[in-house]
Homo-oligomer: A and B are copies of this chain.
Amino acid sequence: MIFYDISMTIKEQMAVYKDKEEKRPHLIVKSDFSNSPVYETRLELDLHTGTHIDMPRHVFPDGTTSEHWGHEEFFTRCVVLDFTSSDDEMVTARHLEDKDTEKHISNPTIKRGKTVLLKTKNSLQDAFDFNFTYLARSGAAYLAKKNIRGVGIDALGIERNQAGHATHKLLLKAGIWIIEGLCLREVPEGDYILAVMPLKVKGVEAMPARAVLLDPNAMLIP
């Protein structure tokens, strides 16, 4: 069965947004076998470090928080679009439209109800890149019109240096959820089922998540 784990590994020495030390996770050992019969650890994790879902509250004061992420979002049809050969630092409406009309793909790839994952040059490197490829405002507007379900990207942000966080706001206003921090290096372009299961934290603007891609036609357990 097709199975890709597309989640970042959480560890102290991982890439964090803009290399900010305060965004680094910490693992604090609370007991080990020198002082206890059990080994126990506490995790300190910025909710925007590693693979995570952004909820509207991240950019809107009156936006919804984690408990509004419903169970219909756990498993969605999904398409991975590969932009690794592009020299541009952003994915625009034109890039997306080109994919949608490529001759060798029989159906329009960006369809109502799907989640769209953007594989970019970001997937080819491990360290944080201040010039990471992002989804441009025009690309977000293109996707918002398509009534898709969610958008994911292989960067710790879905946009950078855009006034007023236009990409976040266009998507979230359209009811499209955002997943950041995906690892897509090994994943070929194509259709999958995306399983995303975030931690069930109450009342927050972002949720750390595990995300995997599955065979779109398979039974879960044959």
**Once the chains are docked, how many angstroms separate the CA of A7 from the CA of B193?**
22
Q: Of all chain B residues, which has the CB nearest A59?
A: B38
| Contact, CB under 8 Å: A212 / B11 | no
Q: How many residues of A contact B (CB 8 A)?
A: 56
Q: Is A19 an interface residue (CB 8 A)?
A: no
Selected from B40, B61, B76, B77, the residue in CB contact (under 8 A) with A206 is B40
Number of copies: 2
Q: How far is the CA of A40 from the CA of B45 in the complex (A)?
A: 11
Asked whether any CB of chain B lies closer than 8 Å to the CB of A90, the reply is no
B33 touching A61 by the CB < 8 A rule?
Answer: yes
Among B58, B165, B204, contact of A27 (Cβ-Cβ < 8 Å): B204
Which stretch from A102-110, A118-126, A214-222 is at the chain B interface? Answer: A214-222
A5-B71, A197-B210 given; name 20 further pairs at CB < 8 Å: A3-B74, A9-B200, A10-B202, A11-B201, A11-B203, A33-B61, A38-B59, A38-B165, A39-B57, A41-B204, A42-B44, A42-B46, A50-B200, A74-B212, A75-B221, A76-B221, A195-B197, A195-B220, A200-B210, A210-B210
> A residues touching B (Cβ–Cβ < 8 Å)?
3, 5, 7-11, 22, 27, 30, 33, 37-48, 50-51, 57-59, 61, 71, 74-77, 164-165, 193, 195, 197-206, 208-210, 212, 214, 219-221
